[in-house]
Structure 1
Amino acid sequence: MSATSLKPVYLSLLVALLMQILPWSGSLLTIRPEFLLLTVLYWTLRAPHLCNIGTAWFAGLMMDLASGGLFGQFALAYSAASFFAVSYQRRLALFNIWQQAGYVFLLLLLSQVITLVLKLFSGGELPGWQYFLPSVSGILLWQFVTFSRLRIDSRSDQA
């Protein structure tokens, strides 16, 4: 594993962290996808030898520090989602893109449920249904990236 193969992984994780901590407000804050988790899941599914559960845990810790919330909640949620992503990574290659999107959607929901449970245990209030909108916007972003990648791959195959 060379340093040049790690550059796109960690550069994209840094960009995702920056996107996550941008000063979002209003309805954009409500629907903001988990950019960092989506990036971790992408690299965990695409290159598990470069991005693994440890990377997800570290990215979660960075998100914990950036959010200022309960320390460890994102680390636990990201590493659990990454664990299930790695566990079924080989089988997921046999799925079509809609089935893969459904699985990624479940991973996003799992992460949100874990953070919700931890927030409730620490004395937080039960949020409304809008709490789960980032999973919906996240899967829409996932599909956009997946279709864009397929379109680019098909163009390179035709050339």
Structure 2
Amino acid sequence: MTTTSFKPVYLSLLLALILQILPWSGDLLMVRPEFLLVIVLYWTLRAPHLCNIGTAWFAGLLMDLISGGLFGQFALAYAITSYFAVTYQRRLALFNIWQQAGYVFLLLLFTQLTTLVLKLFAGGELPGWQYFLPSISGILLWQFVIFSRLRIDSRSNQA
């Protein structure tokens, strides 16, 4: 097992934050994955000593500031989701890529359900089924990140 330095972790988090704040509109806004959450989950599972529940909470606070919605909803949702990711992190290493993707998909759905419940408690409207499209695009992003990482790891093992 290789050790991960903090540079790729925090640079990828910064890139995810930049992608999150880009001016998305129309249908792209509806299917935009939560880039920051996907990267936080990836590093929480891959390098929990560098990216943990505190990092997820801080990333959620940044999302709260960016979204301008109910302050603390993303921080709470990201922290709880990260807690579940860390709790099952060792068991997840025994799963194959597709089983891991299923678990991450459930985590993404859980995050959206948590923010939805918080929005409803604050007096928000019940959204339609399109509200859950970011979980689907998020898992596609997750698979892209995982397969890209596997490709990079296999190239470095061949060298």
Q: TM class by shorter-chain length?
A: over 0.9
1:113-143 C-alpha deviation (Å, 9 max, x unpaired): 0000000010110000000000000001111
Separation in 1, partners of 2:146, 2:87: 21
**Runs of 5+ unmatched residues, structure 2:** none
Measured after TM superposition, the shift of residue 12 of structure 1 is: 1.4
Deviations 1:49-97 (A, max 9, x none): 0010011001100110111000000000000110000000000000000
Q: Structure 1: how far apart are the matches of 2:107 and 2:149?
A: 21
Cross-structure match for 2:38: 38
**Quick check: 1:70 aligned with 2:78?**
no
What's the % identity of the aligned pairs? 85
For structure 1, list consecutive stretches of 5 or more residues without a partner in the other structure.
Answer: none
Measure the CA separation in 1 of the matches of 2:39 and 2:151. Answer: 20
Residue identity in the other structure for 1:8: P
> What is the CA-CA distance between 1:47 and the residue it aligns to?
0.2
1:157 aligns with 2:157: yes
Q: CA deviation at 1:99?
A: 0.3
Q: Distance in 2 between the 1:7 and 1:155 partners? A: 20
TM-score (ref. length: structure 1): 0.95
- Alpha-carbon distance in structure 1 between the residues aligned to 2:63 and 2:137: 19
TM-score normalised by length of structure 2: 0.95
| Structure 2 CA distance for aligned equivalents of residues 5 and 154 of structure 1 | 19
Question: Which has the larger displacement, 149-158 or 67-76?
Answer: 149-158
Structure 1 residue ranges (4+ consecutive) displaced by more than 3 angstroms after TM superposition: none
Tell me which residue corresponds to 1:124: 124
